[in-house]
Every structure is written in structure tokens, then in C-alpha cells.
Chains A and B, each alone.
Chain A
Amino acid sequence: MIQVRVRLYATLRAYASQQKLGEPQIVQLPDGATVKQLIAALGIPDNIVRKVFSQGRAVEEDHVLRDGEDIGMFPPVAGG
């Protein structure tokens, strides 16, 4: 098993167990799990997550997670 630290932002906060702003929640996943599996484990429906960051870099849904990885997830957002 691996543990990843996840921060959910904007409307994805509805799927968060941790409600304190900016604080991560810990999710346990089987070895070799991908971002796609993480999204499913969080109960987030398909096609809602737009951007996923790992250590400051954007990653895709097929990204294989490592133990202790920091993940940030966003729905489609914009501003200026």
C-alpha cells in the first residue's frame, strides 16, 4: 500500500474529507495506483478533474503514484 497527501480545490472540495483550507487529506492506495484510481477512490465522477499537480508539475491521469507523493487537484478554473 502507498499513502498520498491530496489537496482538493474549488468545487472539488465537496469530495474532501478534510475541510480545512489548504490542509491535505491522506489517501491509501494499492502499490502502482494511478491518478485515475485516486480520483475514483475519492468518489469524484469522471471528467470533473481538469488539472492535477504533483510536486509543482502537472501530471495526467495515467501518472503512477509514489508513496508520500503530494497531489493537488482542480476542476476547470480560470481568472485573471
Chain B
Amino acid sequence: MAKFLRINMTTQTATYEDAPAKYALMAGRYLTSTLVADQVPPSAHPLGPNNKIILAPGWATGTSAPTSARISIGAKSPLTGGIKESNAGTGFGQQMARMEIQAIIVEGFPTTPGKFWGVHITQNGATFFPADEYAGKGNYEAWRKIIERFGKKADVMGVGVAGEKRMTNAGICFNDMQGRASRYAGRGGLGAVVGSKGLKFIVIDDTGAPPLRPIADKDLFMQGQKKLTQAIRTHDITKPKGGLNTYGTAVLVNLLNEAGGFPTRNFSSGRFEGAPKIAGEAIFEGNKQRLGKELYNHACSPGCIIQCSNVWHDEKGQEAASCLEYESVWSLGANCGIDSLDDAGELVRLCNDIGLDTIEAGVTLAVAMEAGLAKFGDGKAAIKLMHEIAQGTPLGHILGNGAAFTGRAFGVIRVPTVKGQGLPAYEPRAVKGIGVTYATSPMGADHTAGYTIAPEILGVSGKQDPLALGGKAALSKGFQTATAFIDSTGHCLFIAFPILDIGSGFEGMIEEAAGVLGVQWTAADVTRIGEEILRTERKFNEAAGFTKKDDRLPEFMKYEPLPPHNVVYDVTDEELDSVYKDM
């Protein structure tokens, strides 16, 4: 019987309850967003007693399905003030699923400010332990110690100094398969919510649980798994030693740069002259030179067959940072005018160590550079600013609260945020459809919420001219809807590349989920469930005070032409509003 684990931070108690029937068919984002909508008042202060943190594995998580170890986390976001779902690849959700914990609900509020607790979940129950000795430390050290204490079988969720200090760019951190504190549900400041509750860690160890979660219809599930695996294994993008496995996600750097859509120096240009130096090809070549051999990428979480996670090595061949993703080398590289992988790598390492979202951190640093706190391109100065955050100085608190807050503190006009959240690594003036997603997603600016880049730039799922107007609202709506479903499956969003091109892979994803639940679903159910999730999230945001004016890109994008195409953002407000008009 599926159960919820309720962790009460007021009383330091953890109790299991039967999951109400209403939620029986929900998982991942479907479940976390619905539970947040049902249990968190939209007017609640995100760092106050009435907010909750919800964790849920996807339908396929904890099964033998490939690349299915995503855990979804939901809460009201202190960064956007709206509902937030952020997910990460980690063994944590798989252990939850095998223990038949459908959701963990963290609620209540500490009675002793400044005190931190950990919760240890095993088959024998969930127990609290004081975690003050781990507070104030870097995450690499803290995770090493906590894994030493609880054993390598344990997966650990937690927050760093940024979360402890309730900074609104604090992410939620998980260990990777080597125990590194490097896998993040980064976006939206959910780490600050965890910190506000006096929670430092949740440690899970399912020793004694069955090796796989229960599956209602095994034949249907296995049929789906086979189709999906085949699609991932054969698609050019996701196959072994394909683009992702060799070069990592940063293989996109040169592509977006060629397309003139690579945001540079705080979104003042779409092209960066230093792009080739920070691209996936440079990571691959740099590692090869420093290690004396080719290094292919590894899985971020158990059971991933795409394997796009990397490690950057220093001049001595020692590990410097993991993972140098596209978004991170962009935000902490090009967006700050930095063309050194060593500097960008150190900034990634610091984000992981302090407990920050790399996208928001880089967008914030660039706004700080615009404000004159450092020069664009000065990696060492950027590193110094990151240490201000780690030390919790007044300047560090400003920077740790993200780009919008920093922009306001220093009177900067060019602040690339929507709903208070920093824009990711695709320039909407040069790629119109992704701008629709940034503007209208209930999550704030988020490329993963509706990745129109696939047809606009990659040539996946058809081809669309990124600079052309017309049809971009419908495109974004379709992607946002499908994504809400994929975020509920527990699969990494990267399965979208093969399943958008290979129809049987798409069927396989649906059959897996339906097989786990023992239902009959078709493509129509993907749309039905995706739209239901989006409606739930949208309704929460409206009740929290959001209106149409929040579904807009920053004003400067409408009057500052972006080189090299010299275009402004010209999708009309009416078209933006059409995305959710009839949903």
C-alpha cells in the first residue's frame, strides 16, 4: 500500500499514513504540484510555517526502466512567489519508490531558531538526529561526513550554507553515484524552504526493501520499457558515444553561439567570442590533454543509459568540478564574459559547495558585473563574489538572493528574469518560442518547462525557424503540456529527444507508467494529465496574486536589439496570453 511520510519539524516526529485515494494515480510533478496546491495556502510566506516541501518519485522511478531516477520536489517558491517544481537525478527517489513511499511531506516550523536536524529513513522507520555539527560547512565535506556516518548505501538530500541562511537562490542538493554533493533540484530557491524548517538532511536507506517497486501490469510495463530503451539506444543524440555521452550537454555551446542565441555578458549579445573555449568539445579535449586519455561521460544517477554527466580536471589531472553542464558553463562563463573552463569550473564547484543553483548564480553575477561589482570576464573577481555568499556577508546575502534582488539593490535595468527567476541559456530574442515558455510557464523563466529549442535549434521533432513569429504560442503550449507529464514519469527530460522523433518510444513511456499503475493510457492521457498539472499550478499562482503582467519577458528585451541578428522580442502580449487562454 502506497504511503505518505509526514515529517513534522515543529514536533520532530515522522509518521506514515495511507495515501488518500485521490492521489493514487499521481507521481512526480503531478503529485508534488497537486499536494502543494491542496496543502499550502497560496498566500503563505514561502519561508514561514505554512509552506511545505513535498518530495515524490515518478511512476517509473524504482523500476528497471532506463534513465528514470528523477525525484520531483514541490513547494511555494521564495524566489518567484509562485508554485515550484524542481527535479533532480539521484538514487534517493528510487529508494523511496522501493520502500513504497509515494511522497514525503515536510511541514511545520522549528521552535528553536538556528538548530538543524537530520532525518534518517529506513525500513525500521524515520528518526530525527541533531545535524548542527554539519551546518556552516561546505557541502562536499558535509556529504562526505554524512555518507561516512550512514554508509554508502544511503542517498542524501540536503541544503548547504545558502539554504541554512534562507537565501532565495538556495537549491536542494543530492549526492551523485560517487557520493559527490553535485546533483541539484536547483531552481526556485527550494533550499531556502528546507533551511527555514531547520532541516539539514534527509538520509534514506532502503536495505531490506524489494529490489524493484511494485508493478500492477508487468507485461504492459515491460513492453513499454523495451520500446523506450530501444528508442534511447538508437537515437543519434542519446546513443552510447553519441553527442551527449561524449561532449555532455555543453555540446550546445557552439550550436547556440552559431545561431546567435547564446546570451553573453548579461544578455547584451547573442554571440560570445570565447564560446569554443568553454564548449563541450573544449571540455573533452581539455580532459584528454590533462589525463592523457579520452574520458567519456558517466551516469548522474543509477540506471541512466544516456550518461551525460562529466568531471572537469585541473592541470595536474585531479578532479576540479562536476558537473560542467551547458547551463552552468554558460551562466558562469559566457554570461559573465568568462572564457576559462578552470574559472567556470571553480564557480560550479563553489555553487555545489555553498548550495546554489548555478543558473541563478551566473545570472546574478552578470547583473552584479553590470552594476560594476566586477568586470565582465574577470573570473577571479567572480570567484571572490561567490565567497561573499559563502561567508554570509551583507553583499553575499544580496547576491545569494538572486538576480532580481541584486538588480534592485544596485539599480540595474537589464535584469533578465521572469517572475523573479533568472533566464537560462537561450536568448529569447533570437529564439522566439523559448521566450513564450519563459514568459508563461508557472515556474518562471525555465527552459525545461517547454523546450521549444528541440525544433527551433536542434532539428528534433521537426524544424522551426527560431527567428520567425507565428505559431510559437501553440508550440510552447504543446511542449509545456508534454513536459508536465514527462516530469511525472520520473524519467529524465532528455528522453524527450528520442521519443519526439521515434513514435514507439513515446508509446513506451506511456505504457511504462500505465503498467506500473495498472491502467490503460494513450497519448490523449498525456495531454489530459499534462494540462491538468499546468492548470493546477496556474490556479495556485493566480491565487497567490499573479496576473497577465507576470507572463512577460523583461522590458529591455522589447527595445534593446540583440546582436548579431539585431532583433528585439516581438511576440505579442496577445499571443503570450493565448497559451493558457483555453486550457
Contacts and interface: CB of A to CB of B under 8 A. Distances in A.
B281 to A, nearest CB: 6
A10 B280 contact: yes
A76 B252 CA distance: 10
Contact of B236 (A56, A76, A79): A76
B254 A72 contact: yes
Nearest to B494: A80
Interface residues of B, dominant DSSP: helix
Interface in A15-42: 21-23
A76 B243 contact: yes
Given A10-B281, A80-B494, A53 B243 contact: no
Given A21-B276, A51-B255, A77 B243 contact: yes
Given A11-B243, A51-B458, A22 B255 contact: no
Contact of A53 (B259, B276, B280, B497): B259
Contacts of A79: 243-244, 248-252, 280, 308, 325-326
Contacts of A80: 249, 252, 325-327, 447-448, 451, 453, 493-494
Interface string A55-80: 11110000000000000101111111
Interface in B239-287: 242-244, 246-252, 254-255, 258-260, 270-271, 275-277, 279-282, 285
Nearest to B274: A22
B45 to A, nearest CB: 32
A12 to B, nearest CB: 10
Contacts of B243: 10-11, 75-79
Given A22-B254, A51-B255, A53-B258, A78 B494 contact: yes
Kindly state the interface size class of chain B when it binds its partner: 35 or more
Interface residues of A, dominant DSSP: loop
A13 interface: yes
Nearest to B497: A78
A72 B256 CA distance: 11
Contacts of A75: 236, 243
A22 B276 contact: yes
Contact of B465 (A23, A58, A72): A58
Nearest to A80: B249
B237 interface: yes
A44 B235 CA distance: 19
A58 B565 CA distance: 13
A22 B493 CA distance: 29
With a 10 A CB-CB cut-off, give which of B235, B246, B251, B565 has the most chain A CB atoms. B251
A78 B243 CA distance: 7
A21 B247 CA distance: 13
Contacts, number: 108
B327 A10 contact: no
B259 A58 contact: yes
A11 B246 contact: yes
A10 B236 CA distance: 13
Contacts of B467: 57
A41 to B, nearest CB: 20
B470 interface: no
Contact of B564 (A23, A56, A76, A78): A56
A55 to B, nearest CB: 8
B282 A21 contact: yes
A56 B448 contact: no
A77 B259 CA distance: 14
A51 B459 contact: yes
B276 A78 contact: no
B2 interface: no
Given A10-B247, A11-B243, A77 B258 contact: no
B260 A77 contact: no
Contacts of A7: 254, 258
Contacts of A10: 243, 246-247, 251, 254, 280-281
With a 10 A CB-CB cut-off, give which of A13, A72, A75, A80 has the most chain B CB atoms. A80
A49 to B, nearest CB: 10
With a 10 A CB-CB cut-off, give which of B235, B242, B453, B494 has the most chain A CB atoms. B242
A56 to B, nearest CB: 4
B443 to A, nearest CB: 14
B212 interface: no
A57 B260 CA distance: 8
Contacts of B259: 53, 56, 58
Given A10-B251, A21-B282, A72 B258 contact: yes
Contacts of A58: 259, 463, 465-466
Contact of A78 (B258, B281, B454): B454
A13 B280 CA distance: 12
Given A10-B246, A56-B258, A77 B237 contact: yes
Give 5 closest A-B pairs by Cβ, nearest first: A22-B276, A79-B249, A56-B260, A76-B236, A77-B243
Interface of A: 7, 9-11, 13, 21-23, 50-51, 53, 55-58, 72, 74-80
Given A76-B242, A78-B460, 11 more contacts: A7-B258, A10-B247, A22-B254, A53-B259, A72-B254, A74-B255, A78-B243, A78-B497, A79-B248, A80-B252, A80-B448
16 contacts: A9-B279, A11-B243, A22-B254, A22-B279, A51-B458, A56-B260, A56-B564, A58-B466, A74-B254, A76-B236, A76-B460, A79-B243, A79-B308, A80-B326, A80-B451, A80-B453
